[in-house]
């Protein structure tokens, strides 16, 4: 007798269907698992065997062979426990199941007492079941919230596949053999709304130029590099910027849900609700942690639709920063290895911060910089021109001029309602530009291409040539010119202007890397 259940192997964002074949054969008694498996997967057969024995199943003293096909594909993960257990159960059962196991995809980890535990990649596995024409997918109940979110975002997944959730292995067997009703995913049921718990601008005193900067970055989704002295508020400003960002659109939300599902077994509530993610990797991170691998996304992809914040930017490895060039330009991470190749989404808002020198006090009016010129040049050269050219806004954060006592002001002295006012300005800017974004097929001004810019500027040919004349004496690269025009388009939207004016372009140019360096006194 031979039994067959189905699951899937995690090959990047697109899992591949795996047949779990089970039969008895001659030889010494025991379980043998074949099919290019990892150590974690091989441990799963013992968990499956123990869970079945707790339910009274007797496998007997015989040799049982479990084959995972196709055999040449590497198989890893803890989600093979459930399909292995069901194959063994069907092998030892005397009656046929009412629901053919080959028609469903099974994925869950098993505890020794038969409890179903959540697994990562529940959303990609559900999409694999849909793509391959299976009747349904069986998961642990703890994976239900992300499947419900997927059904709201991906309408094709609502009726074509049954999504079944269980708490115990005995419940799965009761459904399989006795047709007992499982827990089904509910449709159009939003996750419980939770209040915004992250930091916001209500505890930060912002001068007018920083308020304008915050709204411009959030409304246009522009990349930003803040430079300044220690304690000037660079990191504080950036960690609060997500509080005024607009929510992700449907496509971004769906891709972020898939990516987080591949990363961990429990998708955060903020991602389920569509809030932009915020990733803040340490400067000691490895390239694999930031860019990802062929089987798991990195911080760059986990920030898709949201913010990637690199604090102390020059402290990151040079090769790692250079590897960010293509993803920041194209919004994709291409991972190519000898045996595996995959592509992760990586359309992020890139935010960074750093000091002006190794000691931090170059250009300060409060402390004297003690860095020799060779250390200054070495520090500045850690950031290459191509990387700086891919950042829309370069801003020198002024040193705080308020008395130190204001840092410890009571709650009634703090700028309450400031976050809401900034968020309202971002929403007004988004509403003003919405029709143009739909016509151009972009999400924000930061995505406007060079051939779209003349139309997006709202200017006629003569007026657009006049705007370009501003860039002639500056000798900026073509990429820097395009990024300046994108920022100018956002400034015009904030002013409620359909056309980009000269004042908008000059303001945007003042936020370019060359102008910011001149302001700091760098050659």
- Write the CA distances from 57 to 49, 85, 89, 173, integer angstroms: 9, 11, 7, 11
| d(C-alpha 115, C-alpha 111), whole Å | 5
- pLDDT value, residue 191: 53
Burial group, residue 55, by CB count within 10 angstroms (0-12, 13-18, 19+): middle
Burial group, residue 155, by CB count within 10 angstroms (0-12, 13-18, 19+): exposed
| d(C-alpha 234, C-alpha 236), whole Å | 5
| Fold observed for domain 2-184 | Ribosomal Protein S5; domain 2 (3.30.230)
DSSP characters over 52-109: HHHTT----SSEEEEEEESTTS-B-SSTTHHHHHHHHHHHH-SS--SS-GGGEEE--E
Helix, strand or coil for residue 132? coil
| d(C-alpha 256, C-alpha 276), whole Å | 9
Could you give the maximum distance between any two Cα atoms of the chain, in Å? Answer: 88
User: Could you tell me if 480 and 468 are in contact, meaning their C-beta atoms sit under 8 angstroms apart?
Assistant: no
Pull the structure tokens for residue 371.
Answer: 């860095």
Strand 136-140 with 104-106, pairing: parallel
- pLDDT value, residue 194: 46
| d(C-alpha 496, C-alpha 293), whole Å | 44
| d(C-alpha 300, C-alpha 303), whole Å | 5
Q: Label each residue of 300-318 as H, E or C.
A: HHHCCCCEEEEECHHHCCH
Give the number of C-alpha atoms closer than 13 A to the C-alpha of residue 210, restricted to the C-beta side: 22
- pLDDT less than 70: residues of the chain: 1, 157-159, 184-197, 401-414, 523
Pull the structure tokens for residue 391.
Answer: 């950042």
- pLDDT value, residue 414: 59
This prediction has a pTM of 0.89
């Amino acid at each position: 007798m031979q039994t067959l259940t189905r699951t899937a192997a995690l090959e990047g964002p697109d899992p591949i269907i795996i047949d779990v074949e089970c039969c008895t054969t001659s030889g010494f008694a025991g379980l043998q698992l074949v099919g290019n498996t990892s150590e974690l997967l091989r441990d799963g057969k013992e968990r499956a065997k123990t869970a079945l024995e707790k339910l009274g199943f007797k496998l007997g003293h015989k040799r049982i062979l479990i084959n995972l096909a196709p055999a040449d594909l590497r198989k890893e993960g803890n989600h093979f426990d459930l399909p292995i257990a069901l194959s063994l159960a069907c092998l030892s059962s005397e009656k046929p199941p009412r629901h053919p196991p080959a028609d469903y995809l099974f994925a869950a980890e098993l505890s020794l007492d038969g409890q179903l535990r959540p697994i990562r990649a529940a959303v990609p596995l559900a999409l694999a079941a849909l793509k391959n024409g299976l009747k349904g997918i069986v998961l642990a109940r703890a994976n239900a919230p992300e499947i419900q979110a997927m059904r709201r975002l991906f309408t094709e997944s609502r009726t074509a596949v049954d999504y079944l959730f269980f708490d115990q292995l005995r419940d799965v067997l009761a459904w399989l053999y006795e047709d007992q009703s499982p827990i089904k995913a509910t449709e159009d049921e939003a996750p419980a709304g939770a209040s915004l718990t992250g930091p916001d601008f209500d505890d930060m005193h912002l001068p007018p130029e920083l308020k304008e900067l915050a709204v411009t970055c959030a409304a246009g989704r522009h990349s930003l590099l803040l430079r300044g002295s220690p304690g000037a508020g660079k990191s504080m400003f950036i960690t609060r910027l997500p509080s005024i960002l607009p929510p992700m659109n449907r496509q971004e939300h769906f891709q972020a849900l898939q990516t987080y599902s591949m990363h961990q077994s429990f998708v955060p509530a903020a991602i389920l609700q569509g809030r932009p993610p915020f990733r803040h990797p340490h400067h000691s991170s490895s390239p694999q942690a930031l860019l990802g691998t062929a089987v798991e996304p990195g911080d760059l992809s986990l920030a898709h639709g949201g913010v990637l914040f690199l604090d102390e930017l020059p402290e990151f490895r040079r090769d790692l920063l250079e590897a960010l060039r293509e993803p920041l330009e194209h919004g994709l991470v291409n991972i190519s290895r000898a045996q595996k190749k995959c592509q992760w989404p990586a359309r992020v808002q890139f935010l960074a911060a750093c000091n002006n020198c190794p000691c931090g006090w170059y250009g300060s009016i409060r402390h004297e910089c003690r860095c020799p010129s060779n250390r200054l040049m070495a520090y500045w050269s850690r950031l290459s021109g191509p990387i700086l050219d891919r950042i829309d806004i370069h801003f020198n954060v002024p040193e705080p001029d308020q008395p130190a006592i204001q840092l410890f002001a009571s709650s009634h002295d703090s700028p309450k309602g400031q976050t809401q006012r900034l968020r309202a300005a971002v929403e007004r800017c988004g509403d003003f530009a919405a029709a143009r974004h739909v016509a151009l097929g972009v999400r924000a001004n930061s995505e406007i291409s060079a051939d779209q810019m003349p139309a997006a500027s709202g200017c006629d040919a003569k007026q657009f040539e006049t705007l370009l004349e501003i860039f002639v004496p500056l000798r900026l690269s073509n990429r820097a010119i395009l990024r300046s025009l994108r920022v100018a388009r956002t400034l015009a939207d904030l002013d409620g202007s359909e056309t980009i004016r000269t004042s908008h372009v000059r303001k945007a140019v003042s936020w370019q890397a060359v102008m910011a360096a001149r302001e700091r006194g760098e050659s």
